[in-house]
Amino acid sequence: MKKAPGTLIFEYFNITPQKKFVPTHKMLKSILLLTAATLVTSQGQFQPSPGYFPVTGDDTIAGGIFCIPANDVSKYTAGTPAAAGGTGSESPTGTGPVTSGSGPYPAAMGTDPGLPNHTIYAPKTPPAGNLSMPFISWGNGACQTDGSQYRNLLTEIASHGYVVAADGLPTGSTGGQSKVQDSRDSINWAMKGGAKKYGNIDTSKIASAGHSCGGLEAMSVGYHDARVKLMILFNIAIFMDEKRYLLQELKVPVAWLVGGEKDMGFITSQKDYKLLPAGLPAYWASLDTGHGGTFSATNGGKQGKAAVAYLQWQFRGNATAKATCLDAKSKGSLVSDKWNVTYKNW
């Protein structure tokens, strides 16, 4: 049966039609995002063209519009030190034990029926004093759907008073790959109050983050979504020069934590850093680990420390954390941990 105009709006928001119904700005924005994401699946893979800026970062491939098909990676790393891969002098020598994190709010990994197909990292009990808790959407390496893959890192972040939603359940990868909508689903869930059981969630402080393909998913979900206030890319950046014009549309600070010359994100992240819009704050740090980072180390190792410091500086204005990131001479600085650091517009 043909549906009357506006019926889909009512069904999507589960409301009863009234005379002279006028959708709110919030409803119209949600409908636009939903429609744009749906259209992508029928239009085929995104094809870059200078001056063409899609409404959202969705694409038919994992990782979104900033990514490439997995079987094209070797094409774009050929002739670089990253082609051979490998570890570096700062790579973990083994997998560290699972802890509750080093922060003041012991954290744990779990699931939530309100957000199926995701894994939640949060303090075990809501922090006292009504602590304001930022929210982070996380995309896994290779855009895999195993929410436990980065358990050490994400538990560490959560223990400092954050709620993190990683793509996939903590039951191992299903073999499929996540898409931009998976990260968006977690942000929508947080915006609608789904994470309130974990504490006082501050939805004005949302970051999209991820490793490798998941990092490009993070950039793609944050593209044109004003709810995302920070983007953090681990060991990855845009592969295709033809797609770098899209960086003109970014409106929030971008941070790259990469792994030296053996990391496929090393050279490409330097290109992206240089092409960001004038005046946009950016942070770039490299540690000799190769593409695998330090995620498997206890509490996520040096990448865990760097991620927490950056988040505490950005979302909580913590002066010590800011010094850790920016001041090479400060006690416990990232530079003293053998990171090579560059930043601008702070």
- What residue ranges do the domains of the chain occupy? 64-90+99-344
Name residue 284's beta-bridge partners: 256, 342
Range 64-90+99-344 has CATH code 3.40.50.300: no
For the segment 92-105, the average pLDDT, to the nearest whole number, is 97
Burial 99-112 (b: 16+ CB within 10 A, else e): ebbbbebebbbeeb
Give me the percent of the chain exceeding a pLDDT of 90: 85
Q: What is the pLDDT of residues 252-308, one digit of tens each?
A: 999 999 999 999 999 999 999 999 999 999 999 999 999 999 999 999 999 999 999
Q: What is the pLDDT of residues 218-260, one digit of tens each?
A: 999 999 999 999 999 999 999 999 999 999 999 999 999 999 9
Instruction: Give the model's pLDDT for residue 297.
Output: 98
Q: What is the pLDDT of residues 23-56, one digit of tens each?
A: 555 544 454 455 445 444 446 899 999 999 999 9
- Helices assigned H by DSSP within the chain: 7-13, 25-43, 73-77, 151-158, 180-191, 213-222, 265-275, 301-316, 319-326
| Residue 156's pLDDT band (cuts 50, 70, 90) | very high
* Cα angle: 80, vertex 82, 86; to 5 degrees: 145
What are the tokens at 258? 């990469």
| Alpha carbon distance, N-terminus to C-terminus of the chain | 57
Instruction: Give the model's pLDDT for residue 23.
Output: 54
Instruction: Give the model's pLDDT for residue 235.
Output: 98
